[in-house]
Amino acid sequence: MSEIVVGLSYRTAPIAFLERAALTAGAARELETRLVRSDHVAEAVVLSTCNRLEVYAQVSKFHGAVDDVGGALAAATGVPLAELTEHLYVHYEAAAVSHLFAVACGLESMAVGEQQILGQVRSALRGAQQGGSVGRVLGGLLQRALHVGKRAHTETGLDLAGRSLVRAGLDRADAVLGRLADAEVLVVGAGTMSGLVVATLQRAGAGHITIANRTPERALRLAAPVGARTVGMAELPAALAAADLVVSCTGSVGHVVGAGLVAAASAARAHRPQVYVDLALPRDVDPLAGGVPGVEIVDLDRLGQELAGTPGGVDVEADITRARAIVAQEVADYLTAQRAEAVAPTVVALRASARAVVEAELGRLESRVGDLDPAVRAELERTVHRVVEKLLHTPTVRVKQLAGEPGGDAYAAALRELFDLDTVAGNPLAATPSAPNSLATPLATPLAAPLARAAGGVG
């Protein structure tokens, strides 16, 4: 079994396409269930965020798994497979582990270094655990990724390097409206992202915050700590007209704030400047609303363009370099541990074979000389076992050490061959499929050509 990542992100697809491929939490769980019922996928976790859709899986066959995942993604998103694969990338084994760790650190985020991705990885893992699509191996890998992400933020200044999407959006609003402390702010939605928005607004000194949500209890829970007021969605038109800044992040399918609503609100305000920061995918605010006089819309597509090339500066680059070094070290440590664990069945089989030989020879001795005195037999057993243990100690210790090195599985294979050990059923190495770490060469699968093109520029 091996790790594989198949996905698309803002690096390989425009925001409009990511919007088409976006999945709700429920749809992500359904996709995971479908995947683990397929022929070549044993475990699966779907990570669906505002700028990526990725499947992490433990697979038995590389080519078959790529086809399984591609077909399942097309079915789940409703995007034709031929169109979808133009934007997909694939990472395998070491490259898959490296990609996941980099994602958890925020190194692959639109806003480099943002920490929200840690919560998203944690939520994806928890959802997969509840749905039963993830087991010990992939679950352990994602837990390790969370550790790596926390370590990168603790040991480097990556937090300072990353301008979050929220902060970037608010910076743009501040440039148009002036001091946020004097602005009327409306937050539409009361989920995790909205909580981040409200906290950031409070730190920025915004004193007039209103939260609109379909569920009053969730809105109140978010509003109470910061003294914000709440409104129901029925009151949204009036709340829009009163707001200088609207931040929307509901995660709903379809536009929550239509162009007509925006036009009516702008007219009621006599077209005074108004900024809409749309952090949702699919988009909450109808893009046509950007043509309303006095209205400026800042969505994920625009934020991505504005964040391109940032962060910059020597210190920031040094922090990113240190974070990538942490990822490289953690990947090496993880793979070393996996290789050492993979050789364990060979060591167990070798010792079991030795014990069987000892027992057989002691039985043969007794059949020749008759019943042995119990004390004599016990001493013979101890002596023979000591001899066997001393003979096996060095090779078993060395094969564990060597297994941690690249190509170390060859030593375990040599032991299996030399001692005729039958460990195929329990040995992960015996079933490891062969494939490149990242798709860069043609493969015998319908997805090969477009995936190879996409994989070339994805880290």
Mind telling me the catalytic residues?
Answer: 50
Alpha carbon 247 to its chain centroid, in Å, reads 26
Neighbours of 196 (CB within 10 A): 20
> 16: buried, middle or exposed (CB in 10 Å: 19+, 13-18, 0-12)?
exposed
H or E segment and range at residue 63:
helix 62-77
Check if the beta carbon of residue 188 is closer than 8 Å to that of residue 257. Answer: yes
Beta bridge partners of 438: 91
Candidates 436, 458, 454; CA nearest to 85 is: 454
Give DSSP secondary structure letters for 251-281: --SS-SB-HHHHHHHHHHTTT--EEEEE--S
The amino acid that residue 419 corresponds to is F
> Hey, what are 202's tokens?
């409070």
What are residue 8's DSSP bridge partners?
Answer: 53
For residues 407 and 426, give the distance between their C-alpha atoms in angstroms, rounded to a whole number. Answer: 20
Report the relative pairing of strands 2-9 and 89-92 from DSSP bridges: antiparallel
What letter would DSSP give residue 437? S
Burial of 179 (0-12, 13-18, 19+ CB in 10 A): exposed
Chain CA centroid to CA 447, Å: 22
Maximum alpha-carbon separation in the chain: 111
Asked if 83 and 16 touch (Cβ cutoff 8 Å), the reply is no
CA distance from start to end of the chain:
23
User: Between 448-455 and 62-77, two packed helices, what is the crossing angle to 10 degrees?
Assistant: 90
CB 69 within 8 A of CB 448: no
